[in-house]
Amino acid sequence: MTEQAPRIDTNTASIPLNGRRSGAWLARYALERLPVSHTFGIPGVHNTELYDELGQSERIQPVLVTHEAGAAFIADAMSRTGGGRIGVMLIVPAAGLTHAMSGIGEAFLDGIPMLVISGGVRTDLPYRYQIHELDQLGLAAHVTKRARRVERHDEIVPTLFEAYREAVSGVPGPVLVEIPVNLQLTRARVPSVPAFEVPAPAPLSADDERRLDDAAARLAAAERPGLFAGWGAVDAVDDLVAIADRLGAPVSTTLQGLSVFPADHPLHTGMGFSQAAVPAAYNAFRDCDCLLAVGTRFAEIPTGSFGCEVPDNLIHIDIDPAVPGRNYPAAVPLAADARLALPALRQRLENLGDRHAKRRSRAAERIAADKRGYRETWYRHRTDRVNPARFFDVLRDRLARDAIVAVDDGNHTFLAAELWPNLSPRGFISPTDFNCMGYCVPAAIGAKLANPERQVVGIVGDGAFLMTGLELLTASTAGAAPVIFVFHDGELSQISQGQKIPYNRKVCTVLGEFHPDGIARATGAHYLVIGDDDAIPGGIEEALQTAATGRPVVADVRIDYGKHTRFTQGVVRTVLKRFPLGDRFRFVGRALARRVTG
């Protein structure tokens, strides 16, 4: 049996080792020092020694997946919801990496830390054309913060420690470490290894402090301030709430930022504030004269395809120095960690006193009225299938406040953004800037493995479910039991609607007939159907009760997509306005002609 890795004192500069150690043992040693509970991947000839070592670990559980893309999405969700743990992939080189790159790219653009540990071809042979021989470091360079190959046994532990620090520091993201198989298999004398040191956020500078003074003065003087928050503020929720209350300012979020501010707070408006936003958000920000934006890049989705009106008096805080002022000019750009900047700004505003109780009350009343009015439009939508608003109403009623909801990429994403009230930090996870289909099912599994005591559900379109639904086998074998609500309408509906509005025809967006019950049977999941509004309460209750017994669930929701989201309508209008006038008339005329002629 492999020798157990010793405990270490993190206050010691280095730890002596006795005897010769294999590279696989050293990798396991390093991972057991990090906040790692699981690895996700598939064994192959270039990493079986690593799997053998981790199979004997008392601290880390290696999990077999059905596809490396699933491993990446599971690891992503582990990092997003794992309470400080980092998601780790353990994959074979070349094919394992290319399969996983969708999930790695999602983490890279969404700012999610991840460790990607890959085996590598032998470096001690003179031969070329080995199995899986590929320049994977070059391949990974554009979707990771760093990709590095270790060359010697004594590099393994410090390289993995440094990879973790790089993954979680600054703008978080994935880091790849390749360990050649010959290093894993062979032993060498390594006299000592470094102790693991927990990285700390970079402190605020004197210039940061001056900019925060300026920001506080501008916010205090504003007549109609607003807050716009993204995932970068997810660990400063209490400060964000306190600032909103102090200013009496409405709060909008990005898609990821739905996890940043509780939807039942009276100043919460919704996602974005462009004409693609719900009325509560659009109306609340229409006359905003000073905007505090934190942890957001003003990317395409939350801005409604860059259709929002941003005031000149913009205070933009983001950890990435390249972001503040990049898409919209900032009067006060500040490159800082929200975990430090928001408490400091809150303290400054509290020192200025609270003079905005009436403004807070007026804003809350208008937001509440707009939210009620918008939901009523959904209630008036008649259908013999499942009304999305009524589905989300019942789901919210049945789930605990700290439940985690994972969504995918598609029409259901924006239904959830408009109709699902998230109430807890990190309670809503989604693919965003990479915008990759196939995220939901594995992400729900990762969230459940990270939080076995919490309710975890996934909302996924039928097209995205076809991509990674077989990963439910991983849920069954690993002891994770999320509920996956499949919004089933037989189309890739977000793009289908995008085709129907300007083209009046659909091309390659109508799915072939498929039966989700077959995937449930194949993976050991329970299957049920929610066919109409009357079936919603009983179906959700059955799904949650079954999942509570430890069995994953596939709920086939016969959703009605006949009513378009505000997001879809607003983005189509915004994009159309950007066309030259002649092309705009051509698109509109073609759509009208096709409607007439069929």
Tell me, what's the pLDDT at 10? Answer: 42
Helix, strand, coil: what percent of the chain each, to 5? Answer: 45, 15, 40
pLDDT exceeds cutoff 80 at 457: yes
Q: 455 in the Ramachandran plot: left (φ > 0), alpha (ψ -120 to 50) or beta?
A: beta
Tell me, what's the pLDDT at 17? Answer: 83
CATH number of 381-567: 3.40.50.970
SS (H, E, C) 95-163: HHHHHHHHHHHHHHHHCCCEEEEEEECCCCCCCCCCCCCCCHHHHHCCCCCEEEECCCHHHHHHHHHHH
Alpha carbon distance 49, 61 (integer Å): 15
pLDDT per residue as tens digits for the range 40-68: 999 999 999 999 999 999 999 999 999 99
First to last CA, the chain: 72
pLDDT-derived band at 12 (thresholds 50, 70, 90) equals very low
- Provide the 3-class DSSP secondary structure of residue 454: coil
Pairing of strands 192-194, 14-16: antiparallel
Tokens at 77, concatenated: 């969700």
pLDDT exceeds cutoff 50 at 9: no
| Pair 256, 434: CB distance under 8 Å | no
Tell me, what's the pLDDT at 501? Answer: 66
Identify the H or E element spanning 465: helix 462-468
pLDDT-derived band at 350 (thresholds 50, 70, 90) equals very high
Identify the CA nearest to 562 among candidates 415, 383, 408. Answer: 383
Asked if domains 206-365 and 381-567 share a fold, the reply is yes
Q: Which residue has the higher pLDDT, 581 or 465?
A: 465
Q: What percent of the chain has pLDDT over 90?
A: 83
Tell me, what's the pLDDT at 200? Answer: 86
Pairing of strands 192-194, 174-180: unpaired
Identify the CA nearest to 314 among candidates 306, 300, 299, 326. Answer: 326
Domain 14-194: CATH architecture, name and number where available: 3-Layer(aba) Sandwich (3.40)
pLDDT per residue as tens digits for the range 234-270: 999 999 999 999 999 999 999 999 999 999 999 999 9
Identify the CA nearest to 74 among candidates 475, 380, 364. Answer: 475
Q: To 10 degrees, what angle do helices 411-419 and 357-379 make? A: 130
Q: What is the mean pLDDT of the chain?
A: 93
Tell me, what's the pLDDT at 6? Answer: 38
CATH number of 206-365: 3.40.50.1220
Query: Bridge partners of 527?
Result: 554
pLDDT exceeds cutoff 70 at 180: yes
Tell me the domain boundaries of the chain. 14-194, 206-365, 381-567
**Mean per-residue pLDDT, 415-424:** 98
Q: 319 in the Ramachandran plot: left (φ > 0), alpha (ψ -120 to 50) or beta?
A: alpha
| Pair 155, 213: CB distance under 8 Å | no
